[in-house]
Amino acid sequence: MTSVERTGHCLCGAVRFAARGEPKWVAHCHCESCRRATSAAFATYAGYPADAVTWTAATPRSYASSPGVTRTFCANCGTPMSFTGERWPGEIHLFAASFDAPESLSPQVHVHAEEQLPWVHLGDDLPRIAKNTA
């Protein structure tokens, strides 16, 4: 029996995680909230069962970014680390870019595509969902 484990960390290295098994999904989110939370044009998430992810060094600080939504970040360097929301019970969404091997994750879909910035041009053929699935 093989079990995949991926690891990742924040910019300064204080917060580290291990994620066991394959993610349930990997998606680009173009919503304004994710843009602001990351100060980036869009955010790419890997969704895992919450019990498959362990913080292996410092635990990130958390805050409620909107009703029912908790985002975490490294208290030292500020790197966004995770998203959890009442709409996705039992899941934690990690940022694909904070994995040690982000190239090992394959995004499958764009969500909130209707909010995509007009100057973001992506050449993939992935499905584009105007708002959100799940």
Are residues 93 and 83 in contact, defined by beta-carbon separation less than 8 angstroms? Answer: yes
Binds Zn ion (CB under 5 A): choice among 7, 59, 65, 76: 76
If one asks whether residue 10 binds Zn ion (CB under 5 A), the answer comes out as yes
If one asks whether residue 81 binds Zn ion (CB under 5 A), the answer comes out as no
Q: Which stretch binds Zn ion (CB under 5 A): 11-19, 84-92, 97-105, 115-123?
A: 11-19
Tokens of 70: 């908790």
If one asks whether residue 27 binds Zn ion (CB under 5 A), the answer comes out as no
If one asks whether residue 37 binds Zn ion (CB under 5 A), the answer comes out as no
* Sheet-wide strand order for 80-85: 61-66, 69-73, 80-85, 91-95, 43-49, 25-29, 109-111
DSSP tally for the chain: helices H, then strands E: 1, 10
If one asks whether residue 14 binds Zn ion (CB under 5 A), the answer comes out as yes
Q: Where do contacts with Zn ion occur on this chain (CB under 5 A)?
A: 10, 12, 14, 29, 31, 34, 74, 76-77
